Structure 1
Amino acid sequence: MAFQITKEMLVGSLMPVVVYWVYGGLYTMLGYTCNNYRLHPKEDEDDKNFASKQTVIRGVLFQQFRQFIATNLLYMLTRGNDAGASSGYLHQNKFLYKHLHSKHHRLVVSYPFGAIYSHPVEGLLFDIIGGTLAIFVSGMSPMTSAFFSSFCNMKSVDDHCGLILPGNPFHFFFTNNTAYHDLHHQLYGGKYNFSQPFFSIWDKVLGTYMPYELEKREEGGFKLRPVKECKN
């Protein structure tokens, strides 16, 4: 049978991309008007990060293009039917962190569009190959993978948005939230609070959980502090 891309395949590969930019765009707009809910002042996104927003956006688009190709190749090989390494290691292994995962941590002050900004090799191994294998092994159809991947993208964007908005359902259902992951991006928190995007249980089991508190800043918004620092 000749390879072909169906409507369901295109939806399965494009829907997560569209959701990523639409949801990220919503948070970006909220970031300009919700100063009282920000974890960092808006200007810190440019002043304290080690990668420009133009670089981040180009990196994310490149990653999504490769994911689109890989996903559709999988769909064509399996005819789009229902047949069908952990991130902590990247932090603990000094060589892998220095040469791969440290690129994502160039964003000390994270923002929505930087959620999947990473080294091309890391993106290939974990997101493209790992994500494609997960779809294949689980037997998800293109439409099922579209909704699942879109939900994962929304959670990842939420974790990196830098806003503690009241009534956020992600914060209600998951203890691993925006503040939890923001601590991980700080220079002092790189070896703590690895868990992302959903559950924090493994940090607590393996001793990599760093408790924190949120304090109100005089100029508006919140400031995140480790509990140990607060007690001292």
Structure 2
Amino acid sequence: MNKTSTPPEIALRPQLDLFPGFISDQTLALLAPIIAYWTFSTFFYLLDEMDLFAKYRIHPPAEVASRNKCSKLEVFRAVVLQHILQTATGLLLNKFEPAQMTGHESYELWKISMRLNVSPAVAQAIYYLIMPAFRLFMGFFILDTWQYMLHRAMHMNKFLYKHFHSVHHRLYVPYAFGALYNSLVEGFLLDTVGAGLGYLLTGMSTRESIVFYTFSTLKTVDDHCGYDLPWDPLQILFPNKSVYHDIHHQSFGIKTNFSQPFFIHWDEIFNTKYKDTNNYIQEQKRQRKQRYEEYLKKEHKKTK
């Protein structure tokens, strides 16, 4: 595209779906997060069942059964119900969504090039990379803000905690597929509405929403996975990680570390970050190392 002072014509037409004839982009935006949730959860479930990467497990397996106040079947049912409600809400809202259009991109690129006095190549980088990344980041920020405020309110208000949020805290030892184990009311308000606001307020396209919803789901699962994996990119990129959120699930930290799922700035701003977070993380590493060394000794004795 050559730089010119004459704006290109806009010829709008419906945008083809990513998988035309198979599934619409709007439906994919609803299904992709659910597929991601159960696929990623299955990965961590297999780690548990096959006893892999035991030295990175935050809590020993015995604590899952002894400390949690709900069965895995209860958790599974509750998450399935939430996914049904989430999907039904999305299908309803899709009926009011305008069709995604294309044919305006050349004009938008020209406008960026003229307003910022940049080359067409730079305009393309801004339009196709920087602007979508910014919308995605703002979606993260909005979701974090919504979830922090509502999550904190559900702990501070006895009625909200007793009737809604206490369900999630039956999991003292979180595991991956329990990430969305909530009461239906909380799940709808915290996750469905929170993600919806991130999408609407940033003006994301449907395809951008697929990335936003799916990535947010993966991050939520990872926060509850029960593993402190040093090579996990989600735990490397974001300060809000599995060990940080694990503190919130313990009795001593239940009134702290409300932030989720990406950043921890609201905890720091409102002074709700657990005071000994860093010490807890180091102590967890020490305990994991000790447990793993004891595990190796037992295995060594078995082979003799």
Could you list the runs of 5+ residues in structure 1 that have no partner in the other structure? Answer: 222-232
Conserved in 1, the CA contact under 8 Å of 2:239 and 2:263?
yes
Match of 1:52 among 63, 71, 76: 71
Write the letter of the residue equivalent to 2:42. G
1:33-80 deviations in Å (ceiling 9; x for gaps): 121110111122122101110000100010011111111221221135
Q: Corresponding residue for 2:160?
A: 96
More helix by share: 2
Q: Does the alignment pair 1:27 with 2:99?
A: no
Distance in 1 between residues matched to 2:68 and 2:259, nearest whole Å:
22
Distance in 2 between residues matched to 1:61 and 1:37, nearest whole Å:
28
Q: Spell out the pairing of 1:72-221 with structure 2 (5 A cutoff).
A: 72-81=91-100, 85=146, 86=149, 87-210=151-274, 211=277, 212=280, 213=282, 214=284, 215-217=286-288, 218-220=290-292
What's the offset of the Cα at 1:145?
1.2
Aligned in 2, Cα 1:128/1:172: closer, same or farther, shift over 3 Å?
closer
Write the letter of the residue equivalent to 2:37. Y
Distance in 2 between residues matched to 1:131 and 1:150, nearest whole Å:
10
Q: Corresponding residue for 1:40?
A: 59
Conserved in 2, the CA contact under 8 Å of 1:164 and 1:178?
yes
Name the SS of the counterpart of 2:182 in structure 1: coil
1:9-53 deviations in Å (ceiling 9; x for gaps): 221110000001001111111233121110111122122101110
Distance in 2 between residues matched to 1:80 and 1:139, nearest whole Å:
14
Distance in 1 between residues matched to 2:99 and 2:224, nearest whole Å:
32
Q: What is the percentage of aligned positions where both structures have the same residue?
A: 39
Higher alpha-carbon Rg: 2
Q: What is the TM-score with the length of structure 2 in the denominator?
A: 0.66
What is the CA RMSD across the aligned residues, in angstroms?
1.9
Aligned in 2, Cα 1:30/1:6: closer, same or farther, shift over 3 Å?
closer
What's the offset of the Cα at 1:129?
3.3
Distance in 1 between residues matched to 2:34 and 2:218, nearest whole Å:
10
Distance in 2 between residues matched to 1:194 and 1:133, nearest whole Å:
19
Q: Corresponding residue for 2:114?
A: none
Higher mean Cα deviation, 129-138 or 176-185? 129-138
Name the SS of the counterpart of 2:251 in structure 1: coil
Distance in 2 between residues matched to 1:42 and 1:220, nearest whole Å:
12
Conserved in 2, the CA contact under 8 Å of 1:37 and 1:165?
yes
Q: What is the TM-score with the length of structure 1 in the denominator?
A: 0.86
Name the SS of the counterpart of 1:77 in structure 2: coil
1:108-128 deviations in Å (ceiling 9; x for gaps): 000000001101111122223
